[in-house]
Chain A
Amino acid sequence: MLYKTFKGGIHLQTNKATDKKKIKPLPLPERVVIPVSQHTGKPSTPIVKLGDKVKTGQKIAEAEGFVSVPQHSSISGEVKEIAHYPHPVLGRDALSIVIESDGKDKWIKRKKHDYTKLARSEIVEIIKNGGIVGLGGAAFPTHVKLSPPKEKPIDTLILNGAECEPYLTVDHRTMLERTEDIIKGAKIIMKVLECDRCIIAIESNKKDAIEKFKNLIKDERIEVFTLKVKYPQGEERQIIKACLKREVPSGGLPMDVGVVVQNVGTVCAIYDAVHRDIPLLERSLTISGSGIKEPQNVKVRIGTILKNVIDNCGGYADGVGKIIMGGPLMGIAQYTDEVPILKATSGIIVQTEDEVSIEEEQPCIRCSRCVDVCPMRLLPCEIANYAEHHNFDKCEELDIMDCKECGSCSFVCPAKRNIAHLVKFAKNEIMSKM
């Protein structure tokens, strides 16, 4: 059977060892570190002081402007510190609020909403106040995506259940364990966007999730699409192309072609915020890789320290070489395990020393493998050459800004060139000049 897909991309060993493991809630952490910047956009501003007593779900930092979200305390306890702490994504210390648990997990007062009785703007407000961002990894504030301008009507909502990164199975598990909630969440989003088509897009290696959705959907506006197993199938542009054959214009956004894409985990968070009045303060993630004793899926409070999570998963195996936050293709290697779990942390992959081979770079042999796999149809080898020689004008001529940093090019390169890295470096240089 021919599944829907896009052109280019790579076939990976999926290593989804944890896809049968139920999401396990971990015990409450004793301490959480909540950075004020966990999202794309302006960092939030702390609204608590040292020594303040906070409850679970209480807002502790306020959003700065439209493209920003607030932060909430994920446990109850006392504000111990507002200081700079290692940040897993920024790669440096960043302002964070440290809360020590009182062990009671006392919640703020919540009230249930009936979304059908809420106005669209009220729902968006709840989502914004819930601090919700894209949980797939990009961490883009969700309320921004759900507020397209009038002149860009949305006709299709795509729920991204592709989960194309190897090892990660948390979306798969979420789809199995919270199927109904996802369907309800989809209806909320459809109401907000005033669109009457929803596609749940899932890669063909998650047959059970596909079946479950098909059985439970009682609404002909919602369909399930089976996608080919290929990386980066979960990338917004590629999933839109696969489902609808539409190409998001270069430099544009999905809303330009009438589409909004939401990760399935985000949809659950939206459901929790709207239905149950729970802000985003916990998330599920996959802990896997050969450097982990007991790979599994866990649910943790945002701000839990990575090391504690690992300790709760039976600890490290011998000879840890690398800790990756996110998937092995786009994730970020950590220099310490004292970093907090963020809203957009979809997984932690620990590699052993043997797996961490830093192979020597050789000159490009122009084999064109990178060209063949680039999902954005760029010429990665040429861009990398120019980037290496700091010829950024040429890089721009070769459309470097369209690169989505998926890493497919580096993955296939027989010369082991760090193409994606060179591209990223050149992009930063170009942007800093703008």
Chain B
Amino acid sequence: MEEKLTVSISPHIREDISIRRIMYSVVVALLPALFFSIYIFRMKVLTIVLLSIGAAVGSETLCQYLFKRKITITDGSAVITGILLAFNLPPDSPFWLPIVGSIFAVVIAKQLFGGLGYNFINPALAGRAFLMASWPKIMTHAWEIPTHGTLSGIDAITSATPLTVLKEAKGILADPLSSAQSIATAKQALFQLGSKTSLSNLFFGSVGGCIGETSALFLLIGAVFLLVKKYIDWKIPLSYIGTVFILTLFIPTGINSLFHILSGGLVLGAFFMATDMVTSPVTPKGRWIFGIGCGAITVLIRLWGGYPEGVSYSILLMNCATPLIDIYTKPKKFGVVKKKATTEENTKEKERLG
């Protein structure tokens, strides 16, 4: 009898949950958007995504082998990094781009810091930032107009991303040297962007953009699944998107708030990248602050920064602030009415433990 008995510490039951389960649920949640993207941009996208996943998983295995760590590629985290990186690339990317990006993401941003759980910035976003800094032309100009029929039945309005158009149009309007004709075109473009048709295109997905950010609808389907399963916390997406909405409502941006929410990578970022557990705060209050911070920085970059899009940089910046946020938002522990009787109980505890 004796030798068969397991003696381990309590608790003696565990919830049926694992890192792997959470990670693969995120992968599943990303599938609707991926399938839609393949439908819109055709098989090229699939190749890019597969190359990206392959490079991520491959470099993770190699790193763990070289660093003599336990091989943990089956936990699914590298797969997510691969998909998310690909989602942040233009559909017309050359095939080496996802490979280089994924390798950077996994090796530099994740494994060098100690692997899953120890990285302080989101690997996929770090990969994207690296590509953006190294090959800005490819990263911003390889847009392709969706070619297939679209869900809303209306053809794409522009080959550039809506946010780029917005930025350019506003540049023209602000420039005193612009000709009357170009001003008229710019105004026309702005009007079009803010129209119902444009918004519904943004929602259903028939505008230029990165692989994963064209359709808010399909991203939301996945997000709802994760929220229901409680694998991601609603506080971050809510405060993130809420902040963008409120700020763009009050700051005159030349276009309505809905446009700001639906365009670019906001939905993708708010639900799938800002919610990355490893790199966001663990405290409830910290998550609110994290989301609000992301929202504010995104708006700042979009309106006044040099790039048309600010989602990834805002999340990266907030990733860096996460340790600090955690320290300053420590929850108020149970029973902090007054400090009393500490020594009394401590001695009792001491007696108890002999």
Contacts and interface: CB of A to CB of B under 8 A. Distances in A.
Interface of A: 10, 12, 40-42, 67, 90, 166, 237, 241, 247-253, 256, 320-324, 328-337, 349, 351, 353, 355-356, 358-359, 362-369, 371-372, 375-379, 381-382, 398-399, 401-402, 407, 410-416, 418, 420-421, 424, 428, 431, 434
Contacts, number: 202
30 contacts: A247-B335, A249-B335, A250-B336, A252-B341, A252-B345, A322-B7, A331-B10, A333-B5, A333-B6, A333-B8, A334-B5, A335-B5, A355-B13, A359-B18, A362-B72, A363-B116, A364-B117, A365-B278, A368-B282, A375-B334, A378-B331, A382-B282, A402-B334, A411-B14, A412-B15, A414-B19, A416-B18, A420-B9, A431-B349, A431-B350
Nearest to A231: B11
Given A40-B351, A252-B345, A368-B233, A247 B5 contact: no
Contacts of B15: 10, 411-412
Contacts of B279: 366
A351 B1 contact: no
Contacts of B11: 328-330, 407, 410-411, 420
B196 interface: no
Interface SS of B by simple majority? loop
A249 B7 contact: no
B5 A336 contact: yes
B351 A42 contact: yes
Nearest to B336: A250
Given A249-B338, A359-B14, A359-B18, 7 more contacts: A248-B335, A250-B342, A320-B4, A334-B7, A335-B5, A362-B19, A414-B17
Interface of B: 1-2, 4-15, 17-19, 21-22, 72, 75, 114-118, 233, 277-284, 326, 330-342, 344-346, 348-354
Contacts of A329: 10-13
A93 to B, nearest CB: 13
Nearest to B13: A328
Contacts of A434: 346, 350
A377 B334 contact: yes
B282 A366 contact: yes
A333 B7 CA distance: 5
Contacts of A365: 19, 22, 116-117, 277-278
A253 B19 contact: no
Given A322-B12, A332-B10, A366 B117 contact: yes
Contacts of B10: 324, 328-333, 407, 410, 420-421
A10 B16 CA distance: 13
B282 A379 contact: yes
B333 A378 contact: yes
A101 B243 CA distance: 75
A358 B353 CA distance: 26
Contacts of A90: 354
A415 B233 contact: no
Nearest to B11: A407
A321 B6 contact: yes
A415 B118 CA distance: 13
A378 to B, nearest CB: 6
A253 B12 contact: no
A334 to B, nearest CB: 7
